[in-house]
């Protein structure tokens, strides 16, 4: 009840007025049954723009820190994320990836829609980064379709580090569902998980038309703040950034 009230009374009027979001490919979304919606992640506002424009409730996996921050602002943030149907996931420790997969499978097991960002974190520069294989593990173990989604314009509206978003038009573009039933029973195969994840990322890439970087977003962010050992210093003593491969994710046959 809280989810639907919060969505209809607060989010829908506010976001439709501010961002004027346009949805393309809405017909690809199933009206019933479980499915994964896998999208690019460019901005904090991705968390609520997509759920607002989908009639069905969608549950997102969100880092636990969004629910545990101290103070009045922290409590307000926790209420907000619970209001949009987010599920807290502890991303610390070596069992964090399995905890995220288990949480996602629980959502799918209840016949609901699960939203996930395969990149694992927001893009810091607007490019699309390599996907983590958790999305493939959930899709294969649950036997559900994956619907690619591209958020377009949210990076310009609110890039990482910007507190208040610019009020600018946004497009939410869905693609045809991806069926991975041909990999049934192979969810423990590392190469299969990589192939499925790359196919998902390629579908997102075609929708978003972003530049693709074949490395994990978290590693790319870390490289910005960690000069390579022995790297030559650039202007003002700043170490030169390492070269990054821009190979597109391969689409599985």
Give me the pLDDT at residue 67, please: 79
250 domain residue, yes or no: no
For residue 46, CA distances in Å to 31, 74, 159 come to 22, 19, 11
CATH code for position 96: 3.40.1130.10
248 domain-assigned:
no
* Residue 88 in domain: yes
pTM here is 0.80
pLDDT at 235: 41
Q: Is residue 191 part of a domain?
A: yes
Alpha helices in 53-188 (DSSP H): 65-68, 71-83, 96-109, 134-142, 154-157
Q: For the chain, how many structural domains are there in total?
A: 1
Task: Assign 190 to helix, strand or coil.
Answer: helix
- Which domain range does residue 39 map to? 2-237
The predicted-structure confidence for 3-58, as pLDDT tens digits, reads as follows 556 556 556 656 666 667 889 999 999 999 999 999 999 887 777 778 777 888 88
């Amino acid at each position: 009840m809280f989810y639907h009230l919060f969505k209809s009374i607060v989010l829908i009027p506010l976001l439709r007025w501010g961002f004027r979001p346009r949805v393309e490919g809405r017909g690809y979304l199933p009206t019933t049954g479980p499915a994964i919606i896998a999208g690019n992640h460019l901005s904090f506002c991705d968390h609520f723009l997509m759920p607002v424009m989908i009639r069905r409730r969608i549950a997102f996996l969100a880092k636990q820190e969004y629910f545990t921050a101290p103070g009045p602002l922290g409590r307000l943030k926790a209420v907000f994320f619970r209001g949009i149907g987010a599920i807290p996931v502890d991303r610390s420790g070596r069992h964090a990836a399995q905890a995220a997969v288990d949480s996602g499978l629980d959502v799918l097991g209840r016949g609901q829609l699960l939203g996930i960002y395969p990149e694992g974190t927001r893009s810091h520069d607007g490019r699309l980064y390599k996907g983590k294989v958790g999305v493939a593990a959930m899709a294969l173990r649950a036997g559900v379709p994956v619907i690619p989604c591209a958020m377009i314009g949210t990076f310009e509206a609110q890039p990482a580090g910007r507190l208040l978003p610019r009020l600018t038009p946004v497009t939410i573009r869905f693609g045809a569902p991806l069926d991975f039933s041909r990999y049934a029973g192979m969810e423990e195969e590392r190469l299969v998980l990589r192939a499925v994840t790359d196919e998902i990322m390629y579908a997102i890439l075609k929708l978003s038309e972003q530049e693709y970087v074949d490395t994990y977003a978290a590693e790319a962010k870390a490289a910005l703040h960690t000069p390579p050992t022995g790297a030559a210093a650039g202007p003002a003593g700043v170490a030169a950034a390492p070269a990054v491969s821009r190979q597109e994710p391969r689409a599985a046959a």
